[in-house]
Structure formats: structure tokens, C-alpha cells
């Protein structure tokens, strides 16, 4: 079967979701080129330490909350863990060469706090510092820009034992860690992100117990939220103070919230959903405080966990906001979701067949990215937006040495078209990073969801560039 036939066959299998045309032609039809995004637009891929590095107890690294959590097999749907994952710790050089060959310019990765400070604070681990020096220097030698995130969910377990994100001391612990990281790498690294999706790790890890550290309830959630908001601003200040010429941002997960219909109760439910997911971490940073008008339960943070002066401490004028987006949601009023009284209307109920969803069960909603970019673009305090994550998991198979991931390719093209539309309408969006460079450990879902532009065979560690990766390679070439 030649390439064209393979694409058409997979398209046919995918049903109406995919218009069966050769990929190059499809792209010509929507007419986008790299040049349309402008010469300074940043094209990158995103990854995270726990999801790709492996080497979980090598060279002095201490366990993170994700090591502890995933070692309890029942916590991960597939019973797997990130002990080895993509083995990036040992394969970083060839992986970065592959990234370079795909014509991307930015490598977003995260620093593992327990590699740099195994005790959480105190004595630095030189071998951990050396590892990131090797990664950074390799990037620079290849002409790739290293864009580290300081916190992508792998808190040192020793700090969780002292209360983790629920303990206000986390602000001091994080400051010490950020100071070490920026002093160690800030001579060569100018682009930094403070937190990755505080909404996700607080909600899933401290409210619902589905992610590490597996804690539940409002008594854990509210302090974890507040301390994350403080940390994100304090981290920004430290990066700016320590790194000459820093470009500092922080990232937020987003989902445009559409009410189920125009009934007032659903409209109000969608507003609450939006405030929780899209505003709660952003607005305090912009000096607007928590959205307590829409979410009265957040007043408890102000009453119980905030100290005088916190409103000021929560503020920081980030150089850019990292907007992460996968899907939009349709929201309805719900009596079974205490506190929020809102829930998603499942795709099935709206007549969307299961085969049009991603492996994560998420809907493909390219316009949702446009809408949320417009929403964020309307905040006067946001100077610049970078889409620091966007992508999709589909069941990929290696066939005759290739991976014909037509659904993912279509996904990227449609979402990118919406980024361009927003940009043309004046939203200051200046970069786009794919999630993810390669398949990796998808948290509580294990290795089943494959998000990569590059397929990873976890038995052999063989990398195979998928059609989507080849498409980017071609799109991004000069
Ligand atoms: C959000 C997270 O930042 C990343 O770690 C995760 O793998 C992707 N989105 C996909 O769920």
C-alpha cells in the first residue's frame, strides 16, 4: 500500500470525521503557511520531566509525589508508572537531534525539583544540575531554545510529607528551588514558565484524589489553590530578579465553556465552570483577585487562608501567558455536583459518536481554541499569549515503519487554523507548542493515550516519527 492509499484507508476507517483527501492537498486548501504566523512566532514541542525522563532514582534524585503515587498500582488505570518511561534521561541527546530534524525551534521541558533538591530544600544535587546543563547545552548547540517549566507536578515527596501545597511554607520552599534553578541555568536560559496548569494539579491531586498526591476535599483544595497562586507570582518575581533579559510566563489549562442552551440556569452554570477553570488562577495574577462574584466559595480562601497583603503578593506582570487547550465544554446546571452546581453535558448526549473522540474521551473542538484565545486576548493585563500545549491522543500503530496518524494531523491543522484566525483578529498570540514531542506517561491513564508527534515503543525505546511529525517537519522548513 502506498502512502496515499494508506492515508485514504485510514481516512475511510475514521468515517466522516476525516475528509479522505491526500494530506498535502488538504493543507493547500486551508492555505496556511508558516509565514502567515510571522517571522517571530515560536514553534515548539512540550514535554514534562516525570512523563519522559525515567531514571527515577538515579544520580541522587529523591522520589516525587508521582513516584509514590504511581507505585501504588491501583492509582494508575493500567498499573504502570514512570520509572523508565521514554528514558529521556539517557537518550536526551539523540531525542533533541530528532527534534531539531523536525525543524522545531523550541523545546519545552520541565525541571524535576527532586533531582535538583532531593531534600526539597537545602543541599543541591550537583548531578541533577549537571543533567539539565547537558540538556540545555545540547539544545543550544543544535540551535534549539530551551524553555523550562519550574513545576510540572513532581513535588518532592519529602515536602508532601510536610503538607505539600496545603502548607503555606511551600512559598518559601519554591522560592529556594527557583532561586537555585535560575542561578544555575539563567546565564543560558532566558525563557521560563513557573507553574504548569495549577488548576489540574490542585483539582485532580488535592480535591478529587485522582492524581498525586491523592488528597481530597475542600480543606486540601482551597489552601493548595491559594498557595499555588502565591507561588506563581513569587516564582515570576524571582525569575525576573535572577535572569538578565528574562521572558517569564506561567501556564493555564483552559476550556471554552458554552452553555447547553440559552436557559438562564445553564448560562449561569457555564459562567461558574468558566470562572473555575479559566479565571481562578489567572485573575489574581492580573490584580483582579479571585472571581468570588461568580464563585462565592472562593471567599473562604480570603477568610481562612489569605494573610493581609496577599492580594498584592498574588500579582505579577508576566511577559507572557502560556495558554493550554485541548477541548471546549458544553455545560449544564447539575444538582449532583456540589459547590459548582455545574457539569459537562457528555458528547454522547449531544449525538457525538464515540469514534470522534480522542483516546482521552475528549471532543475535538478547534473553534474552542479560537474562542478561548479571544477571551484571554480581551484581558488588558495580558501582554502576550503562547499556546504552550495543544494536541491529541489517538490509538497509533506502527505499520511498515510508519505511523499514519491522519486524525492527529487533521486535529493540528484545524486547531492551527483557529490560532491564525485569532492572531489575524489581533489576539497577541506569539507561539504554539505541540503536546507532545513524543508519546509518554499520561499520568493516571498510564501509557495508553499516545500524544506524540513521535511514536515510542516502550519495549525497545525505538522512536518512529508519525505522519503528523513529518507534516510539521515539512511545514516548518524554511
Ligand atoms: C496537560 C499536562 O500539562 C500534560 O502533562 C498532559 O500530559 C497533557 N495536558 C495531556 O493531558
Ligand 1 centre to CA of 264 (Å) is: 33
pLDDT at 29 over 80: no
- Looking at residue 31, its pLDDT comes to 80
Nearest to 413 by CA among 1, 22, 23: 23
User: Model confidence over 199-225: pLDDT tens digits?
Assistant: 999 999 999 999 999 999 999 999 999
User: 200 C-alpha vs ligand 1 centroid, how far in Å?
Assistant: 9
**Quick check: 133 pLDDT over 70?**
yes
Contact 203, 209 (CB under 8 A): no
The question of whether 345 is a catalytic residue gets the answer no
Measured distance CA(346)–CA(324) in Å, rounded: 21
Residue 197 bears catalytic tag = yes
| pLDDT number for residue 14 | 35
Do 70 and 454 form a contact (C-beta atoms < 8 A)? no
**pLDDT in the model for residue 12:** 34
* DSSP result, 327-380: --EEEEE-SSSTTT-EEE--GGGGT--GGGS-TTS----HHHHHHHHHHHHT-T
CA nearest to 159, candidates 177, 183, 180: 177
The Cα-based distances of 424 to 26, 172, 374, 403, 417 in angstroms read 21, 42, 11, 33, 11
Give the per-residue pLDDT at 478: 74
- The percent of residues in the chain predicted with pLDDT above 90, rounded, is 93
- Dihedral through CA 395, CA 399, CA 403, CA 407, nearest 10? -50
What is the whole-number distance in angstroms between the Cα of residue 110 and the centre of ligand 1? 12
Q: Which of 53, 80, 258, 389 is catalytic?
A: 389
The DSSP result for 7-61, as a single string, is HHHHHHHHGGGS--S-HHHHHHHHT--GGGG-TT-EEEEE--HHHH---TTSTTP
Exposed (0-12), middle (13-18) or buried (19+): which is 15, by Cβ within 10 Å? exposed
Taking the CB of residue 302, how many other CB atoms lie within 10 A of it?
Answer: 14
Q: What is the pLDDT of residues 249-306, one digit of tens each?
A: 999 999 999 999 999 999 999 999 999 999 999 999 999 999 999 999 999 999 999 9
Query: Is residue 439 within 6 Å of ligand 1 at its C-beta?
Result: no
Tell me which of 53, 197, 258, 344 is the catalytic residue. Answer: 197
Q: For position 370, what pLDDT does the model report?
A: 98
196 lines ligand 1 (CB under 6 A): yes
Residue 24 confidence (pLDDT): 47
pLDDT for res 159: 99
Q: Taking CA 319 as the corner, what is the angle to CA 317 and CA 324, rounded to the nearest 5 degrees?
A: 105
User: How does the average pLDDT of the chain come out, rounded?
Assistant: 95
- Sign of the Cα torsion 176, 179, 181, 184 reads negative
For residue 5, pLDDT over 70 is answered with no
Question: Is the per-residue pLDDT at 418 higher than 60?
Answer: yes
Supply the pLDDT for residue 305. Answer: 98
Q: What angle do CA 24, 428, 369 make, to 5 degrees?
A: 55
User: Which ligand 1 atom is the nearest neighbour of the CA of 435?
Assistant: 8
pLDDT for residue 239: 99
- How far is residue 460's CA from residue 86's CA, in Å, rounded to a whole number? 10
Q: What is the CA radius of gyration of the chain?
A: 21
pLDDT at position 407 over 50: yes
435 in contact with ligand 1, CB cutoff 6 A: yes
Q: What is the pLDDT of residue 30?
A: 65
Amino acid at each position: 500500500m502506498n502512502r496515499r492509499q494508506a492515508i485514504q484507508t485510514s481516512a475511510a476507517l475514521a468515517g466522516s470525521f476525516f475528509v479522505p483527501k491526500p494530506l498535502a492537498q488538504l493543507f493547500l486548501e486551508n492555505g496556511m503557511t508558516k509565514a502567515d504566523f510571522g517571522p517571530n512566532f515560536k514553534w515548539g514541542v512540550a514535554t514534562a520531566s516525570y512523563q519522559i525522563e525515567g531514571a527515577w532514582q538515579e544520580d541522587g534524585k529523591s522520589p516525587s509525589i508521582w513516584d509514590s503515587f504511581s507505585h501504588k498500582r491501583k492509582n494508575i488505570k493500567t498499573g504502570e508508572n514512570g520509572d523508565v518511561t521514554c528514558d529521556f534521561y539517557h537518550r536526551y541527546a539523540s531525542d533533541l537531534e530528532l527534534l531539531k530534524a523536525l525543524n522545531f525551534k523550541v523545546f519545552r521541558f520541565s525541571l524535576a525539583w527532586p533531582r535538583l533538591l532531593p531534600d526539597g530544600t537545602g543541599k543541591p544535587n550537583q548531578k541533577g544540575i549537571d543533567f539539565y546543563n547537558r540538556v540545555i547545552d545540547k539544545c543550544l548547540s543544535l540551535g534549539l531554545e530551551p524553555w523550562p517549566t519550574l513545576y510540572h507536578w513532581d513535588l518532592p515527596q519529602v515536602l508532601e510529607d510536610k503538607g505539600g501545597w496545603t502548607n503555606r511554607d511551600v512559598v518559601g520552599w519554591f522560592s529556594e528551588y527557583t532561586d537555585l534553578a535560575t542561578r544555575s541555568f539563567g546565564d543560558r536560559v532566558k525563557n521560563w514558565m513557573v507553574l504548569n496548569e495549577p488548576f489540574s494539579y490542585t483539582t485532580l491531586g488535592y480535591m478529587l484524589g485522582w492524581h498525586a498526591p491523592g488528597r481530597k476535599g475542600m480543606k486540601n483544595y482551597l489552601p493548595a489553590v491559594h498557595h499555588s497562586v502565591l507561588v506563581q507570582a513569587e516564582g515570576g518575581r524571582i525569575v525576573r530578579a535572577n535572569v538578565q533579559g528574562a521572558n517569564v510566563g506561567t501556564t493555564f489549562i483552559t476550556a471554552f465553556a458554552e452553555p447547553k442552551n440559552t436557559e438562564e440556569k445553564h448560562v449561569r452554570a457555564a459562567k461558574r465552570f468558566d470562572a473555575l477553570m479559566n479565571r481562578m488562577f489567572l485573575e489574581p495574577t492580573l490584580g483582579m483577585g479571585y472571581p468570588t462574584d461568580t464563585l462565592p466559595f472562593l471567599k473562604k480562601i480570603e477568610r481562612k487562608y489569605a494573610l493581609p497583603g496577599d492580594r498584592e503578593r498574588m500579582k505579577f506582570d508576566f511577559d507572557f501567558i502560556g495558554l493550554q487547550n485541548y477541548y471546549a465544554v458544553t455545560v449544564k446546571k447539575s444538582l449532583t455536583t456540589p459547590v459548582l452546581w455545574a457539569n459537562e453535558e457528555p458528547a454522547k448526549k449531544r449525538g457525538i459518536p464515540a469514534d470522534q473522540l480522542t483516546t482521552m474521551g475528549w471532543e475535538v473542538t478547534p473553534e474552542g481554541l479560537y474562542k478561548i484565545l479571544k477571551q484571554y486576548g480581551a484581558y488588558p493585563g495580558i501582554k502576550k499569549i503562547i499556546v504552550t500545549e495543544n494536541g491529541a491522543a489517538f490509538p497509533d500503530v506502527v505499520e511498515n515503519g510508519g505511523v499514519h496518524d491522519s486524525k492527529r494531523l487533521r486535529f493540528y491543522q484545524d486547531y492551527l487554523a483557529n490560532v491564525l484566525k485569532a492572531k489575524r483578529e489581533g489576539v497577541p498570540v506569539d507561539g504554539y507548542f505541540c503536546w507532545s514531542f513524543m508519546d509518554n506517561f499520561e499520568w493516571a491513564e498510564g501509557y495508553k493515550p499516545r500524544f506524540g508527534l513521535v511514536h515510542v515503543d516502550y519495549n525497545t525505546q525505538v522512536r518512529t516519527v508519525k505522519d503528523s511529525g513529518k507534516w510539521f517537519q515539512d511545514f516548518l522548513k524554511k
